[in-house]
Amino acid sequence: MASAQRFEDIRRNLTLDASGGLTLYSLPMILLPSHFFVYIMEQVEAVAGPDALARIYRQAGYDGAVTFCRRRRESLHCSPLDTVAGYLAEMSVRGWGRFEILELDPARPRLRARLTNSALAEARLRGPRHEVWVGAMEGALAFLLETAGRSARLTAREVAPEPGDAAGACRIHVDAAEARP
């Protein structure tokens, strides 16, 4: 599906109520400029340090992905795999950058994703810039396992771009550390 069509799908599912509340798939939303989000990240790191920034944003990314995937699936009645693919496609047209699923295998469980043109690439941080997306990819895979009645201790990390990746690309790998029935 083309980006323009994905954007129109989002617009169709947005609701603005009389009080000014914006929702998407019944989830409260805030429309804000990317610099605002980046400034918050920079200030969290300045006050609490790079380790705290990484922990905070990684957990927020995880929780946000699980919640959004659950709500998206309930609203659109799509398969778990389509839910995760749709989640990343949506993030790609909501200004975060372009997400590409390179591998998604809930049986292993494993997820490989690439992010290009990241809205967070220019953040002036000492620590990692994409921990929010590392957490989000982990949360998306956890959602898939949850829908299959499974769980696993997952490990997620940002890895170096590969030859041929665009400048500034971010790769995220999520794997099961140990599967549990």
pLDDT in tens, 108-159: 999 999 999 999 988 999 988 899 999 999 999 999 999 999 999 999 999 9
> What's the CA gap between 151 and 139, in Å, rounded?
12
User: Is-contact 143 72, C-beta < 8 A?
Assistant: no
Element (H, E) at 85: helix 80-93
User: Is-contact 84 142, C-beta < 8 A?
Assistant: no
Tell if the pTM clears 0.85, that is, is over it. Answer: yes
Distance of CA 122 to the CA centre of its chain: 18
The pLDDT-based confidence of 1 (bands split at 50, 70, 90) is low
Name the residue type at position 11.
R
Q: State the first-to-last Cα distance of the chain, in angstroms, to the nearest integer.
A: 35
pLDDT in tens, 52-111: 999 999 999 999 999 999 999 999 999 999 999 999 999 999 889 999 999 999 999 999
The pLDDT-based confidence of 181 (bands split at 50, 70, 90) is very low
Class of domain 33-180 (CATH, top level): alpha beta
> What's the CA gap between 125 and 46, in Å, rounded?
9
